[in-house]
Amino acid sequence: MKLKIALLPGDGIGEEIIRQAVKVVDATCRRHGHEVEYARGLVGAAAIDATGNPYPEETHRLCMASGAVLFGAIGTPRYDNDPSAAVRPEQGLLAMRRRLGLYANIRPVTTFPSLLHRSPLRRELLEGADFVCIRELTGGIYFGQPRGRSEDGETAFDTCLYTREEIRRVCALAFGYARARRGLLTVVDKANVLATSRLWRETVRGMAPGYPDVTVEYMFVDNAAMQLIQRPVRFDVVVTENMFGDILTDEASVITGSLGLLPSASVGLHTSLFEPIHGSYPQAAGRNIANPVAAILSAAMMFELAFGLKEEGAAIRRAVTASLDDGIVTEEISDGTAHGTEEVGTYIAARI
Ligand code: IPM
Ligand code: MG
């Protein structure tokens, strides 16, 4: 098969972790007889510096013309510390999600036996934890209008807005995942307070009879934040709105022992995008210490979801597990000698 991949490293550690993912993609393609063609695009602060636009038209055209997008991270302290900046790197990520129609962000949370002791949670709480968070990605308070400031600058507002159709399409995907897994779908909302959450519940109630093999439960987000830590094994598929999903998936990453391990896939109307959930980690940029595993596992998801190549994805996952078992890991999860970003990437690629 011929794979056409857009590489968008973005900011911070994006460049160095994407480089490791590319090594692993190359090794996988060599091994399984695929041809791969990459094209690079600018996004985030790097794109603002070069063009003034955090998601340039040229990058959008490149994404639309590719079979998948492999994306690093966005954000830099230059902008984080300047709330007055009108053009911000994160706008590039949001524009990309919106324009590619990436309405569902799939974040699997799995534990690795060799890393259970790295989690701040007790081992007995973690064993067997294996769930998927499906986060709505192009609606809610991230995108709702109106948003802004009052004229006197003393009041600010954001709007949380959902249409029934926006809820339906992401929940249809979540029902599909639940059906293919253990059959439990947890809808996380704040229906005791928010009108949008009540529309989520009403919509899911209407859909549920179409999935008689799936058990649906509803959970308030505050309670979900607690239960994720208290009893992670109880979850199978969690579906939730944009901002709740953003927060809960960072929380969920603690279960695996490092934010540097969690991949994600964003899917929807056009080209799918694959990215680690950890962000740009600017303090580590250029220091060869960032964990490339989340980016590499994102590439595994890319093989499976964008190209339908399941065996290739599984091969990458096996190589990652081997590197963790062998202790070839970066400093934040290392018990002895820490390895660099490059070394971990090379090791995993060699295990394919
Ligand atoms: C994520 C990130 C982004 C988000 C930021 C960088 C805008 O935290 O992908 O989870 O909030 O969606
Ligand atoms: Mg986030």
Per-residue pLDDT of the chain (352 residues; tens, 9 = 90+): 999 999 999 999 999 999 999 999 999 999 999 999 999 999 999 999 999 999 999 999 999 999 999 999 999 998 888 888 889 999 999 999 999 999 999 999 998 888 888 888 999 999 899 999 999 999 999 999 999 999 999 999 999 999 999 999 999 999 999 999 999 999 999 999 999 999 999 999 999 999 999 999 999 999 999 999 999 999 999 999 999 999 999 899 888 888 889 999 999 999 999 999 888 999 999 999 999 999 999 999 999 999 999 999 999 999 999 999 999 999 999 988 999 999 999 999 999 9
Residue 250 known to be catalytic: yes
Q: Closest by alpha carbon to 241, among 192, 198, 179, 301?
A: 198
Which atom number of ligand 1 is nearest to the Cα of residue 250?
A: 10
H or E stretch covering 247 = helix 242-256
Query: What residues are neighbours of ligand 2 (ion), with CB under 5 Å?
Result: 246
Question: Does ligand 1 come within 6 angstroms of the Cβ of 75?
Answer: yes
Q: Closest by alpha carbon to 105, among 58, 57, 67, 140?
A: 140
The 3-state DSSP class for residue 40 equals strand
The pLDDT assigned to 226 comes to 97
Question: Does ligand 1 come within 6 angstroms of the Cβ of 299?
Answer: no
- The CATH code of the domain at 1-102+263-352 is 3.40.718.10
Ligand 1 centre distance from Cα of residue 246 (Å): 6
Ligand 2 centre distance from Cα of residue 247 (Å): 6
Which atom number of ligand 1 is nearest to the Cα of residue 93?
A: 7
Are 1-102+263-352 and 120-256 equal in CATH topology? yes
Give 7's strand partners.
40, 70
The pLDDT assigned to 259 comes to 84
The pLDDT assigned to 336 comes to 87
Q: How far apart are CA 224 and CA 230, in angstroms?
A: 10
- The CATH code of the domain at 120-256 is 3.40.718.10
Question: Does ligand 1 come within 6 angstroms of the Cβ of 74?
Answer: yes
Question: Does ligand 1 come within 6 angstroms of the Cβ of 332?
Answer: no
Question: Does ligand 1 come within 6 angstroms of the Cβ of 250?
Answer: no
Tell me the whole-structure pTM to 2 decimals. Answer: 0.94
Pocket test for ligand 1, best of 69, 90, 103, 106 (most atoms within 8 A of CB): 90
Residue 246 known to be catalytic: yes
Which atom number of ligand 1 is nearest to the Cα of residue 90?
A: 7
Domain ranges of the chain: 1-102+263-352, 120-256
